[in-house]
Amino acid sequence: MRIFLGVVACSLLACAGAGFDDGQAPDGAAGGDWTARFSVDQEEWLSSGKNPYFILEPGYRLVLREGDEELTITVLGETRMVDGIETRVVEERETRGGHLVEISRNYFAICKRTDDVFYFGEDVDIYKDGAVVGHEGAWLAGVGEARPGLMMPGQPLLGSRYYQEVAPGVAMDRARIVSASTTLKTEAGEFRNCLVIEETTPLEPDAREQKIFARGIGLLKDGSLTLVRHGMDESRDR
């Protein structure tokens, strides 16, 4: 499978029709001011599509790098049923010094009415010396108390706060949109009016990370990693 202005505006989650789960955050979270519960009509789910900052089309690939660390994100031609919904598989492959560190298979679906992209979980393989040594962070909507989170709204609003992962005790990443006007230079080019999202989790109160997204491209920066290449991977079977 990182300037609070008040509240999440209703239009952000028009498709989700969601609120704060009776004013309370999910189990394992502190406070109730992060949108944590979403509901989308069954017929509104799609396993492929895109919104301004998130491309969920088979064959699309992003490569980010910093030093000897590289992250390759590929939208696969595969789908998987998760909690009764057909989701798209997005593979994240992380290497360090040319050695495999982690492979995660992330599951997403998009609401066709508002283009909100939702996160349904991930399978994780952590590697050491070429062998799988763990699966830390893996979760699936519909297993235990886990349910889908909002990964990227179709119409991001400054100051919005929402959960990306809702798997109590396992994965509880949440997002706050802090800017929509950032300029970032990367090896792949210069991008203006970028979206900056600050990620935190109640599971690690001191952890804080920023991700930056460009319109029509997607993820530009993830922590210290920055974009070096993007586009359709024509060599991959879709």
The domain locations on the chain are 10-232
The pLDDT of residue 4: 23
Torsion of CA 149, 59, 64, 201, to 10 degrees: 10
The pLDDT of residue 32: 57
The pLDDT of residue 236: 52
Tokens of 177: 């949109």
d(CA 194, CA 116): 18
Per-residue tens of pLDDT for the chain, all 238 residues: 422 222 233 333 434 433 323 323 454 333 458 999 887 898 999 999 999 999 999 999 999 999 999 999 999 999 999 999 999 999 999 999 999 999 999 999 999 999 999 999 999 999 999 999 999 999 999 999 999 999 999 999 999 999 999 999 999 999 999 999 999 999 999 999 999 999 999 999 999 999 999 999 999 999 999 999 999 986 654 4
The pLDDT of residue 33: 87
The pLDDT of residue 2: 29
Phi, psi of 44 (to 5 degrees): -95, 0
Is the whole model's pTM more than 0.85, yes or no? yes
d(CA 18, CA 75): 27
CA-to-CA dists, residue 143 to 88, 105, 121, angstroms: 18, 16, 10
Q: Count CB neighbours of 234 within 10 A.
A: 7
